[in-house]
Structure 1
Amino acid sequence: MDAFYASVELLRYPDLRGQAVVIGGGRDSQPVLQPDGTRRYFHLRDYTGRGVITTSTYEARALGVHSAMGTMKAAQLAPDAILLPVDFDEYRRYSRLFKAAVRAIAPQVEDRGIDEIYIDLTDIPGALEDGGRAVGEQLRQAVFDATGLTCSVGITPNKLLSKIASELDKPDGLTLLTADDIPTRIWPLAAKKVNGIGPKANEKLAALGIVTIGDVAAADPAFLVEHFGRSYGAWLHAASHGRDDRPVVLFSEPKSISRETTFERDLHAVRDRAVLTEIFTTLCVKLAGDLERKGYAAKTIGLKLRFDDFRIVTRDITLPAHTFDARTIRRAAGECLKRVDLGRRMRLLGVRAGNLARLSDLLRPATPPAPLSVQEPLADFLSPMPLFDPPGD
C-alpha cells in the first residue's frame, strides 16, 4: 500500500491532499473543528516532545521527512507540515478491506503485515499470458474500489524481486520484471534495496567498495563468503542475481502479540501514577481484544519498559492456563511490573502475549469475560500494592 497510514488519514481529511502531512502525533495533535466548518490542524513547528514519525505523505518525504525519524528533527526539516495522530484501529480496518479485495481475485496470499502481502499468481488462469499486466491492473483496481486507496504492485518470478519491484514505481505503480531485466533494472540500485541487507551489512559492503546490487553480483562468491560467512555470503551472491526459492506461505502461527506506546513526555511511576495506570490498563484491554479478534489465547504475559536513559527492561510471567481475559492479563502484567525498579522516568510501556494457542483448540468459557474499564479501581483486580510505586517508596 502507498504511504498507507497517511493515505487512510487523507480519506478522513481530504482537504490535506497534496500537502506535507506527517503521522505520529498524540491526542494533542487531533484536528479541531472550527465554528465555520473548517478544521484547525496541528503543525510540526508547534511540536515539543520526543515522539517518532510513523509515516508521512510523499510531499513530506520530498522534504526529507521519513518514518522512524524523531518528530523534533522532522519539525526542523518541514516546520509547516501537518501533524496528525495515529489511529491503528482504522488502519487495521483498511488493511482487512484491501486484503479481502485481493483474495477475491488471487486467494494464494502471504500476509506480511498491515500494509504488505505476497501473492502467488501461478494458478490464476491466464494471469501470466501478458507477463501479469492484466491481473496486476485488476488487483490495483480492486484495492482502490474497496478502500479508495492506491497500492503498488511488482510482478516478478519470486518474492525477493517482487519486493524490490513493488517499490520502483511508487505511488500507484505496476512494475513487471523478468530475469532478463535484472541487469538493467536491479543491478544499478543501491545494495540496501535488497530485503535482507540491513544497515550493518550495507556499511560493511560499502567499506569493501561494494555499493550497488550489481557490485554484489560482480563480486567473487568466495570473497563474499570470506567477509560475510558461508551462509550469508552465499545468500548475498544468490540474491544479487535475483535468485529466491522461498514459497508464498499461506499461513503461519504468530509467536506473540503485543501492544506498546511511547509517551509524549517521560513519565514517573509516582508523580504520573494516574496517567500511567490508565495507559497500562488501556494497553491490556487492547491486547485482550487483539487476542480474541485473532482467535488466540496466551499463557505467557510479558512487560516491556524503556527508561529515560534508553535502557530497556523486560519481564514475563507464565500463567497456569491460557487466557484472553483483560483482567487476567492486567493482573499478570502488574505482577511483572512489581519486579522492576521504577525509580527512573519512563519513555515507553508495552505488554506482550506469548505462548499462544488457538481458541478453537481450547475449551471456551461458558460465559465471556467481563469487560475491563480503564477507569475501574485498581484494587478490584490487583493486589493492594500501589501499581506504579517503586520499591521502598
Structure 2
Amino acid sequence: MPERYIAHLDMDAFYASVELLRYPELKGEPVVIGGGRRHEPEVLADGSRRYATLRHYAGRGVVTTATYAARRYGVNSGMGLMKAAALAPDAVLLPVDFDEYRRYSRLFKAAVAEVVGNTPPLIEDRGVDEIYIDLSALPGVAVDRGATLARAIKARVLETTGLSCSIGVTPNKLLSKLASELDKPDGLTILREADIETRIWPLPARRINGIGPKASAKLEALGIRTIGELAAADAAWLLKNFGAHYGAWLHAAAHGRDERPVVTHSEPVSLSRETTFDRDLHPRNDRAALSAIFTRLCEQVADDLQRKGYVGRTIGLKLRYDDFRTVTRDLTLPAPVDDLAAIRRAAGECLKRAPLERRLRLLGVRVGSLSRPGELVPPDAAKPAAQPHTRSLFDD
C-alpha cells in the first residue's frame, strides 16, 4: 500500500490571535477571550483603549480561549472565568466575536485550498480552526514527507490572514493531530511510524483524541498514564477492562494505527445553540429573562438552519441546573421545519416535560434529524408527534 501523508493544520490560539489583529497593542500580554459585550474595550478621549481585566469579573462565564501568555498562568479553554481570575487577575478580558472568527476561518481554509490545488482539494473541515489535508497524491511530497508543501501552506495562511498555524504531517489522522500540538505555536512537525516511540509514547494518554476525562481517569486508576504505557498494555486486558470495541481501539491508537480516510464532505447530524447564564435563573422568578433567552436561542437555530440550507424534524431542549445535573427532552415532528415559530413551539412542548423546581445555569435548543428541503424523510412512528401548542412556562 502506498504510504500516506496526512497533514493536520491547527490555528494557533485562534480566537485570541484574531483579537490581537484588532488590538495589536495587546501582543505578548495575557489575554482571555470569553467575556460578554459589556467587556468591550472602552475608547478614551485620546483614542487609546481601556480594557476590562479578570480581576473585577463576576459571573458564570467560561474561557473560550487564551493567549499563550495567559496559558503560562494555567488559564485554559473551558475553565471558569472566576477560576481564571484567581490565576491571572490582571489578564485582559475580551468578548467573543464568532462572526469575525468564522470570517477568518473561511480565509485560512481558502488559502490552504489555493496551495494544495486539487479539484476538489482533499481537505476535511474539522471546525472553525482546524482541518486535515491528504497530501499523498501531490507531486514531490514523498521527497521530504510533505515538509516543503507544509511550509508553503503555513506561509500562505500567514500572508492571507496575518495568523500563524501549526501543522503535523504523519501517515494518519490520529498521529497528525498529536504532531500538530508538539511544537506550537507556529510549529511544523513531520513524524514517521519509527518516531512513535520517542515522540508520541512519552505523551499523556489523554492527549489521544478519543480518550476523554472518564477514560483517562479509569486508565490512571489502572496505572496507565502515558501513551507508551497504554501501548505496553496487553490487548486482551484492555478488551476486558474497556469492552471489545473501545479496548481494541485503545490498543490500535496507542500504536499509532489509524486507517480513517480524509473525508471531504459530511452532513451535520444536528444544529444547536446554548448559553450559560452569568447567574443562576429561577424558572418562575426570572421568567421574563428566560423567555427572552429561550426565544433568542430558537431564532439563532432557525437562522443557522436557513443559512446552511437544512430543515429538521427532531427538536431538542437542554437544561443544566444549579447542581450541574443536565436533562434533555426531544420531540420529533411529522415533517421537517426550519422556521422560528415551529421550533419554539416544539421546544416549548419539550420544556413542559422537564423538571423546573431548581434554578437553571444553562439553556440550549437543538434541531436534529436534518435533511435538505424537498428530500424524502422516512416517518418515525416510534417518536411522538407534535401536539397542539399550549403555553409553556417561558411564554410571555
TM-score, scaled to structure 1: 0.88
Deviation at 1:199, TM superposition (A): 2.4
**2:315 pairs with 1:301:** yes
SS at 2:142's partner residue? Answer: coil
The verdict on how the C-alpha distance between 1:232 and 1:316 changes in structure 2, with shifts beyond 3 A counting, is closer
Which residue of structure 2 aligns with residue 319 of structure 1?
333
Which residue of structure 1 aligns with residue 271 of structure 2?
257
Structure 1 gap ranges (5+): 363-381
**Contact 2:351 2:392 survives alignment (8 Å):** no
**Contact 1:292 1:324 survives alignment (8 Å):** yes
Q: Distance in 2 between matches of 1:103 and 1:346?
A: 44
**Contact 1:299 1:321 survives alignment (8 Å):** yes
Deviation at 1:274, TM superposition (A): 3.0
**Contact 1:2 1:171 survives alignment (8 Å):** yes
Residues 10-56 of structure 1, C-alpha deviations (whole Å, 9 max, x = no match) = 12221111111111112222222112211111111101112211111
**Contact 1:295 1:360 survives alignment (8 Å):** no
Moved more, 54-63 or 353-362: 353-362
Q: Distance in 2 between matches of 1:361 and 1:386?
A: 32
**Which of the numbers 243, 246, 258 marks the counterpart of 1:244?**
258
Q: How does 1:116-155 map to 2 (within 5 A)?
A: 116-155=130-169
Deviation at 1:153, TM superposition (A): 0.4
Q: Distance in 2 between matches of 1:309 and 1:339?
A: 19
Q: Distance in 1 between matches of 2:330 and 2:225?
A: 42
Which residue of structure 2 aligns with residue 6 of structure 1?
16
Q: How does 1:146-295 map to 2 (within 5 A)?
A: 146-295=160-309
Q: Distance in 2 between matches of 1:72 and 1:299?
A: 39
Q: Distance in 2 between matches of 1:34 and 1:331?
A: 46
SS at 1:331's partner residue? Answer: helix
Q: Distance in 1 between matches of 2:282 and 2:303?
A: 27
**Which of the numbers 10, 32, 39 marks the counterpart of 1:29?**
39
Q: Distance in 2 between matches of 1:319 and 1:386?
A: 18
Moved more, 247-256 or 57-66: 247-256
Deviation at 1:360, TM superposition (A): 6.3
Q: Which amino acid in 2 is paired with 1:28? A: R
**Contact 1:342 1:389 survives alignment (8 Å):** no
**Contact 1:110 1:248 survives alignment (8 Å):** yes
TM-score, scaled to structure 2: 0.88
Which residue of structure 2 aligns with residue 87 of structure 1?
97
Q: Distance in 2 between matches of 1:384 and 1:158?
A: 53
Which residue of structure 2 aligns with residue 46 of structure 1?
56
Residues 322-370 of structure 1, C-alpha deviations (whole Å, 9 max, x = no match) = 22222322232233323334343221111111111113648xxxxxxxx
**Contact 2:123 2:264 survives alignment (8 Å):** yes
Deviation at 1:384, TM superposition (A): 7.8
Q: How does 1:87-106 map to 2 (within 5 A)?
A: 87-106=97-116
Which residue of structure 2 aligns with residue 74 of structure 1?
84
**2:30 pairs with 1:20:** yes
**2:394 pairs with 1:388:** yes
**Which of the numbers 336, 347, 359 marks the counterpart of 1:345?**
359
Q: Which amino acid in 1 is paired with 2:16? A: A
The percent of aligned pairs where both chains have the same amino acid is 66
Q: Distance in 1 between matches of 2:217 and 2:342?
A: 46
The verdict on how the C-alpha distance between 1:204 and 1:385 changes in structure 2, with shifts beyond 3 A counting, is closer
Deviation at 1:387, TM superposition (A): 4.6
**Contact 2:294 2:394 survives alignment (8 Å):** no
Deviation at 1:210, TM superposition (A): 2.6
Q: Distance in 2 between matches of 1:31 and 1:383?
A: 44
Q: Distance in 1 between matches of 2:209 and 2:300?
A: 31
Deviation at 1:95, TM superposition (A): 1.7
**Contact 2:240 2:247 survives alignment (8 Å):** yes
**Contact 1:257 1:287 survives alignment (8 Å):** yes
Residues 101-151 of structure 1, C-alpha deviations (whole Å, 9 max, x = no match) = 222233111121221111111122222321111110111122222222111
Structure 2 gap ranges (5+): 1-10, 377-387
Residues 250-309 of structure 1, C-alpha deviations (whole Å, 9 max, x = no match) = 222211100011011112233333322222222122111211222211122211111222
**Which of the numbers 58, 61, 68 marks the counterpart of 1:58?**
68
Structure having greater relative contact order (Cα 8 Å, sep ≥ 6) = 2
For these two proteins, the number of residue pairs brought into alignment is 372
Q: Distance in 1 between matches of 2:252 and 2:354?
A: 46
Which residue of structure 2 aligns with residue 329 of structure 1?
343
SS at 2:343's partner residue? Answer: helix
Q: Distance in 2 between matches of 1:343 and 1:227?
A: 39
